[in-house]
Structure 1
Amino acid sequence: MIKFIIVVVLLLLVFGGGTKMVVAGGAKSLDLADRWLGSGGGARLLLADQPYGNGPRQSLDIWVPERAQQGDALPVVVFFYGGGWDSGERASYGFAGRALAQQGFVVVIPDYRLTPKAHWPDFLEDSAAAVAWTHRYIGGLAGDPERIALMGHSAGAYNAVMLALDPSWLRAAKSDPSVIRGVAGLAGPYDFLPMEKGGLADKAMGKVKPAEKTQPIAYARGDAPPLWLASGDEDATVRPRNSRNLAAAIEKAGGSAQLRLYPGMGHTGIVMALAAPFRSKGPVLDEAADFLRGVTGRRIAPVEAAAQ
C-alpha cells in the first residue's frame, strides 16, 4: 500500500503540475517534487522562466552542473517532456534537468504549446524555436553551441526526433539543422498510423493531410543525426514497435540508430528511471548519458589538418 501511495503521489506531482516554491535570493522556481526526485547535489538551476518567444508557453529553464561557470563550454541537452501534446510543464521536470546536469550537461527544458489551444505543427515550431534560442545564447550560459543534443520522453521524444529528421523546422526557425548532434528518445511515438479516433494524437494532429506528414518514420534518412531509441517492453501506451520500426528504417537508409528495450519497464517508468529513487529499475540515465556524451564529443581535426 505504501509503495502504491508513493507512485500515485509521484505521478500527480510529475505529470499533474506540482507545487512551485521560490528559491531564496532570486526569482528562480523549483517544483516541490524535485526536492525528493532529484536527491543529492551536483546540479543547480541556473535560469528559470527565460522567454525564447513571445507566447505564454514559450519559456525555458536551464540546469547546469553545480560548479559550472560562465566561461565553460559544456555539452548541451535540450529535453522535451511528454504529456500527449495536451499536458505538461517544465517545472515538473526539474528531476530530469538535475539528473542530466549531474552527468555534466547543460540542460535546457522548454515549455511548448499544447492542445486544445494549439495543434500540429505549433508544438514543433515551438520546439524548433527553443533549439534555435539555445544555439544562439547558450554560449554565454556555460554551454557549447556546437555540442547540442536533444532528448525527450513520449510526445517530447516525437518533437525531438521530428526536428532531427526533418530539417525544415530548424530552417524555419532561422537556425542550422546541423546544430543537432544526436537525439535520445524515450518511449516516443514515431510510427502510429492509423491514429486512434479521439485519441491524443488524433486531437493534436488528426486533421493534417496527408497524415503521413505527421510521422517521424516518413522522414527516415541516412544522413540524420544519430538516434538512441529506448522503450520499455511493457509499454502499453506507446508500443515498443515505434522505436523498433524507426530504428530499422534509419538503418535501412544507411544511418545510425541504436535500439534499447528495457525489460519490465512501462511508459512512465522509463522517464521516472531518470529520478534518483527509481534508477535501480534500469540504467536509463547512465546509458542515455553515455550516448549523449558520445554524440556531443568535441570535433577532432582531420589528420592532415592537424599535421600542418
Structure 2
Amino acid sequence: MIFWALGIVLAIAIIAGIALQIAIQRNGPAVLNAFDKVTGGDAGVTRSEAISYGPDPQQRLFVLRQDATPADSKLPVIVFVHGGSWRSGDPDDYDFTGRTLAPSGYIVVNAGYRLGAKGAYPAMLEDGAASVRWVRENIAEYGGDPDHIILVGHSAGAYNVAMLALDPRWLASEGVPASSIAGVVGLSGPYDFFPFDTDSTRDAFGNATDPEGTQPVNLVRKGAPPFLLIHGLQDTLVKPRNSQALARKLEGAGVEVKLEEYPAMDHNDPLLALASPWRGRRDVLAEILQFAAEVRSSVPVQGETR
C-alpha cells in the first residue's frame, strides 16, 4: 500500500514537471516568473511601476531593488534585456531577475523595446540606448550608480546588449558615455548570424543597408568592456558557435572575455538557472555574480575560452 501511494505521488510529480516544462515553452517568462515568486518569495525586492522612456507602449522599463536600499547607496546597476526573437517578450514577465540579482547588492532594471516591424533594426538598438540614457539620468533616485552599468541579455536581448557595447554610435546618440558600461553578460546570444536564414532574422534585419554591419562579431573593438558569454551546447535555436566566434574576436582584440559552455544546457536553460527553484543548482548565477563583482571592483576578468 505504501509503495502504491509513493508510486502515485511520483507519477503526479513527473506529470506536474512535464506540464511545467510545456507551460514554460509556450509562455516561458510569465510562467517562470510566477513559479519563481511562489517557490522563492519576493526576496525583499520591490518593483517600481512601469516607467516610460519613449512614446511607444513597448518603450518601458521596471526598476527592482531591495526594500531597505537607501536612496544614496550608489549601487551598481544591472540592466536586463529580454529575448523573444525581436518579435515577443515583455519586461513585466522578468521580475525574477530582480529577485535573484538585487539581493547581492545591485539595482536591476528590466528594459523593454519595440518588437516586430516597429522594432526592426536599428530600432531595437535605438531603444536600448534610450533605456540606458534613462538609467543614467534617473537611477540615482533609486540608489543606483549611473556610472556603473552592467548590461545583461538573453537570446535576442543578448544581441542587443552586445551591440550597445561594441558599436559606440548607439549610446553616443543618446549622450551616454561608453565608460558607464562596466561589463556585458550574454546568455544564449546570436552574434554571428548573417546571412539571414530564418523568418525572425529576415524580419528584424532584412532591410538593413549594411547587413554585415549588424553583426557583433564584425564590430569588436579594442577598449570594449569585459564580456561574460554563457551558452548551452544543446542549444539548437541559437547555435553555440555564436558565442564561440564572438569570444575569439574579443580575445583577439585584447578585450577581457570569459566563455562558459554547458554541455547539458539548451537555449533557455541559462535563463531558467536564474529562477527558483533552479537558482543555484547550476553555477550560471555564480558566474554572473562573480563577473559582476569583478567588474564592480575593477579587477580584470581573465580571458578564457573553453
TM-score, normalised with respect to structure 2:
0.88
Q: Distance in 2 between matches of 1:42 and 1:35?
A: 9
Aligned to 1:177: 178
- Structure 1 or 2: more helix by fraction: 2
Q: Distance in 2 between matches of 1:49 and 1:244?
A: 36
Contact 1:86 1:200 in 2 (8 A): yes
> Unpaired segments of 5 or more residues in structure 2?
1-14, 300-306
Contact 2:36 2:276 in 1 (8 A): no
Aligned to 1:216: 216
Contact 1:166 1:219 in 2 (8 A): yes
Q: Distance in 1 between matches of 2:276 and 2:35?
A: 12
Q: Distance in 1 between matches of 2:20 and 2:35?
A: 12
Aligned to 1:248: 248
1:151 counterpart letter in structure 2: V
Quickly say closer, same or farther: Cα 1:65–1:263, change in 2 above 3 A.
Answer: farther
1:208 counterpart letter in structure 2: A
Aligned to 2:286: 286
Q: Distance in 2 between matches of 1:52 and 1:184?
A: 23
Note if 1:8 corresponds to 2:9. Answer: no
Aligned to 2:72: 71
Q: Distance in 2 between matches of 1:74 and 1:296?
A: 10
Pairwise CA distance, 1:65: 2.4
2:296 counterpart letter in structure 1: T
Q: Percent identity?
A: 39
Q: Distance in 1 between matches of 2:31 and 2:42?
A: 21
TM-score, normalised with respect to structure 1:
0.87
Pairwise CA distance, 1:13: 4.3
Quickly say closer, same or farther: Cα 1:123–1:43, change in 2 above 3 A.
Answer: farther
Aligned to 1:271: 271
Q: Distance in 2 between matches of 1:48 and 1:11?
A: 27
2:87 counterpart letter in structure 1: D
Quickly say closer, same or farther: Cα 1:279–1:35, change in 2 above 3 A.
Answer: closer
Pairwise CA distance, 1:49: 0.5
Q: Distance in 2 between matches of 1:202 and 1:237?
A: 15
Aligned to 1:26: none
Pairwise CA distance, 1:62: 0.7
SS in 1 for 2:209: coil
Contact 2:91 2:111 in 1 (8 A): yes
Contact 2:153 2:187 in 1 (8 A): yes
Stretch of structure 1 that moved more, 244-253 or 46-55: 46-55
Quickly say closer, same or farther: Cα 1:281–1:12, change in 2 above 3 A.
Answer: farther
Give the RMSD, CA atoms, in angstroms. Answer: 1.9
The number of equivalent residue pairs is 285
Stretch of structure 1 that moved more, 279-288 or 154-163: 279-288
